[in-house]
């Protein structure tokens, strides 16, 4: 009887104290992940992760494939949600930047033939171009920090 109880306690203690796997993150160029030579940027653009000793796999858009792991740690999940919101805001900033550039281009072509154009288009284009570029840059940088912070919090809790 004592032997059975001791064995059960040993199994329970081992299963409770067994270290969970940590998450490793790396950034890769899209050209390394694509079969097309379409993306030739040398800057890292995509996240890959490895859970424990597993294989590297893409984290997916907005790192959605990490959510099932991070959901077990409320603090890590909170930072992941911040990352997601900041990344979406950065995308909106990029869109505004592009729209501003298009408005400026249209305004430039409009001014070639006629000097009586509307200045509201010019000011809107400049505002979107500068504002969208700043928002995109700042939120992208902040999103990256929140992403790494969420993984660090997860790894700190499982060790």
Residue 45, pLDDT above cutoff 90 = no
Domain region containing 145: 20-158
Q: Is residue 68 part of a domain?
A: yes
Within-domain flag for 10: no
Q: What is the pLDDT of residues 76-120, one digit of tens each?
A: 999 999 999 999 999 999 999 999 999 888 887 776 666 666 677
Q: How much is the pTM?
A: 0.71
13 found inside a domain:
no
Residue 28 placed within a domain: yes
The number of domains in the chain is 1
**CA pseudo-torsion sign 33, 64, 94, 153:** negative
- Tens digits of residue pLDDT in 9-27: 443 343 344 446 888 888 8
- 5 domain-assigned: no
The three-class DSSP label of residue 58 is: strand
Q: Has residue 55 been placed in a domain? A: yes
Total number of residues shown for the chain = 159
Beta-bridge partners for 25:
49
Confidence band of 121 (pLDDT split at 50, 70, 90): confident
User: What per-residue confidence (pLDDT) applies to 80?
Assistant: 92
């Amino acid at each position: 009887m004592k032997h059975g109880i001791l064995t059960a306690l040993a199994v329970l203690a081992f299963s409770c104290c067994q270290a969970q796997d940590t998450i490793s993150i790396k950034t890769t160029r899209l050209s390394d992940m694509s079969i097309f030579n379409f993306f030739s940027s040398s800057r890292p653009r995509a996240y890959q992760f490895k859970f424990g000793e597993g294989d590297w796999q893409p984290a997916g858009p907005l790192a959605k494939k990490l959510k099932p792991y991070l959901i077990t740690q409320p603090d890590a999940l909170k930072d992941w949600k911040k990352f997601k919101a900041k990344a979406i805001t950065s995308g909106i900033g990029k869109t505004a930047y592009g729209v501003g550039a298009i408005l400026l281009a249209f305004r430039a072509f409009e001014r070639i033939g006629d000097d009586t154009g509307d200045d509201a288009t010019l000011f809107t284009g400049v505002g979107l171009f500068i504002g969208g570029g700043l928002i995109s840059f700042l939120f992208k940088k902040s999103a990256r920090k929140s992403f790494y912070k969420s993984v660090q919090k997860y790894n700190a809790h499982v060790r």
